[in-house]
Amino acid sequence: MLKFKNSAKNLIAVTRTTYSRYYSTLEPAEHAPGQEENEAWLTSLENSNFDENFYFKKISNEKPKEYQKTPYRFINEDTDTGIMNINLLINTQTIKSSPYSSLSARQRPKAESNFSDVRVLKLSSGNGGNGSISFFRDAGRSIGPPDGGDGGQGGSIYIQAIEGLTSLNKLKQSYRAGDGEKGQQRQLDGATGKDILINVPVGTIVKWIPDPLILKEQGKEVQDYIEYPVEARGETMEDYDPKFIQIRRDDYKVGEGWLFKDNDKTEEWHKDKEFFNTLNMKVSKYDEKIIKEEEVGDLFPLHGLDLSQPSPAPILLLKGGTGGLGNMHFLTNDVRNPRFCKKGRKHLQGHFLFELKLLADLGLVGLPNAGKSTLLRAISNARPRVGHWEFTTLQPTIGTISLGFDKDSFTVADIPGLIKGASQNKGMGIDFLRHVERSGGLVFVISLGNNDPVADFEVLLNEMGERVQNKNILVAATKADLENTQERFVKLKEFVEKQNGWKIIPVSAQNQENIENLILLMGECAGKL
């Protein structure tokens, strides 16, 4: 049999009588699928039985119709998507306002340049490259068999929580993965678009949110939406409790997405031809498969992705578009001269809210200037800022405390001081409490240098509200080295011990007094002893 190679040097000249004879006696270009292979592939598509249940189960409860106009839809099936572990679902937490909103302009840039725990990012994956329409050519022959390669896969956006990061401030405002390149002649597939991997600190929660600009136009606040992802849009329905958001690609439907080579023989011309319609019916099955895979793959947990552990591998957030098929796939018995290929599938785009909740075993809670940072310096390797003025601590610091070489160590988070009215956003507000929210225990740091430590403790308990529930509590009465603190300590001890038998210990962080005992009690509070 005569060989038709894709290199001119290897080409064996053939004399052809008719076009069809030419094709029936020649094999196509070296790696391009041949006519027989294409026929077999199209037949397999025709007979293929995609697990419709698998795909449609997830969207069967999709309601109501008008939501479908939006570029996203809610899905309420609680099924594993195959790319994301459902166990990662968490409850939505409230975000009220910028943690820095109440700071003076002088303080703000300092705080924001080093630390950021809430960010909104615009993310887009890449478009799939278009297929290519090309025919083998050489000097002796004006046109050969189709050899147009496939478009490259669009780049995807991945996220990975890694240890050693403590802030979201390095993230950019938007990320866009690369587009797949278009297919090339000689069966060359287009290059794959560049993926993007976003590294975040362990403890980051990622939530999908609608475009903040659109929300603004509608007079809605991103914050409201985050607090009640569905309710704030007035879209809650009885028995409708969506678990996923499906961000949709504004793209061609099954049987569409063809690109044609000739200006005069466009889609209209082809749609009149039986050979094209027959082929399109078969290729539609391929479209269906790709689109169904997108429906499943493009789901995101509505209540967010909680990266509370280092991610063993990057997690796919937004998948790039699939590359379009080149014309080499469409050479069949009926289609001798496929002057068409498929477009690449489009990218996905969405806005995501990144919220960092540092993960420490214990949280230090106290009024400004109570001595929290000094205490953390005394007991751990952390070096938080210490000052004589209030609100020295503008960003949370985490210290690690060792209980000895044969015991677990534990971590302690120092957060900015709370003041009366903090829950109404006074001082630094209470947004920083997100960083002690997931701690098993809280250590209240009360200064014995203040006149009425009991009243101080009451202020803190008021501001903390229900946040103290289900937590181990310890009170560190600090600055015990100061004069006349004995009597204050006795009163405070009495008050503390009345509260569910909580423990209290006097210390002087400055003079390193009673620190060993404090560490032991803290280890107990952290559940490590």
Per rule CB under 6 A, is residue 434 in the interface with ligand GTP? no
Binding residue (CB under 6 A) for ligand GTP from 148, 508, 519, 522: 508
Binding residue (CB under 6 A) for ligand GTP from 390, 450, 489, 515: 390
Per rule CB under 6 A, is residue 370 in the interface with ligand GTP? yes
Per rule CB under 6 A, is residue 416 in the interface with ligand GTP? yes
- Quick check: 447 and 416 in contact, CB under 8 A? no
Binding residue (CB under 6 A) for ligand GTP from 180, 371, 429, 441: 371
Per rule CB under 6 A, is residue 391 in the interface with ligand GTP? yes
Q: Which of residues 126-185 bind ligand GTP (CB under 6 A)?
A: none
Would you give the end-to-end CA distance of the chain in angstroms? 81
Q: What is the DSSP letter of 10?
A: G
Q: Which of 247, 509 has the CB closer to ligand GTP?
A: 509
Q: 364 CB contacts (<8 Å, ≥6 apart)?
A: 372, 375, 376, 412, 413, 414, 415, 436, 442, 443, 445
Query: Which one of the spans 227-235, 240-248, 368-376, 467-475 is the region binding ligand GTP (CB under 6 A)?
Result: 368-376
Q: Which of residues 449-488 bind ligand GTP (CB under 6 A)?
A: 478-479, 481-482
Per rule CB under 6 A, is residue 380 in the interface with ligand GTP? no
Whole-angstrom CA distances from 123 to 111, 149, 225, 319, 347 are: 26, 29, 19, 11, 10
Smallest gap, in angstroms, from Cβ of residue 481 to ligand GTP?
A: 5
Binding residue (CB under 6 A) for ligand GTP from 38, 327, 373, 380: 373
Number of chain residues interacting with ligand GTP (CB under 6 A): 24
Q: CB count, 10 Å around CB of 68?
A: 12
Helices 35-47 and 274-297 meet at what angle, rounded to 10?
60
Smallest gap, in angstroms, from Cβ of residue 156 to ligand GTP?
A: 42
Radius of gyration of the chain, Cα coordinates, nearest whole angstrom: 32
Q: Which of 188, 360 has the CB closer to ligand GTP?
A: 360
Q: What are the DSSP calls for 108-140, one per residue?
A: HHHHHHH--SEEEEEEE-PPPPP----B--BTT
Smallest gap, in angstroms, from Cβ of residue 128 to ligand GTP?
A: 52
Per rule CB under 6 A, is residue 489 in the interface with ligand GTP? no
Per rule CB under 6 A, is residue 395 in the interface with ligand GTP? no
- Quick check: 296 and 58 in contact, CB under 8 A? yes
Per rule CB under 6 A, is residue 509 in the interface with ligand GTP? yes
Q: Which of 290, 367 has the CB closer to ligand GTP?
A: 367
Per rule CB under 6 A, is residue 435 in the interface with ligand GTP? no
Per rule CB under 6 A, is residue 392 in the interface with ligand GTP? yes
Detail the DSSP E strand segments found in 254-396: 258-260, 299-301, 305-307, 315-318, 340-342, 349-356, 362-366
For the record, the structure tokens of 280 come out as: 């399109």
Helices 486-498 and 453-464 meet at what angle, rounded to 10?
30
Per rule CB under 6 A, is residue 425 in the interface with ligand GTP? no
Per rule CB under 6 A, is residue 35 in the interface with ligand GTP? no
The whole-angstrom separation of Cα 79 and Cα 244 is 10
The contact set with ligand GTP (CB under 6 A) reads: 366, 368-374, 386-388, 390-393, 416-417, 478-479, 481-482, 508-510
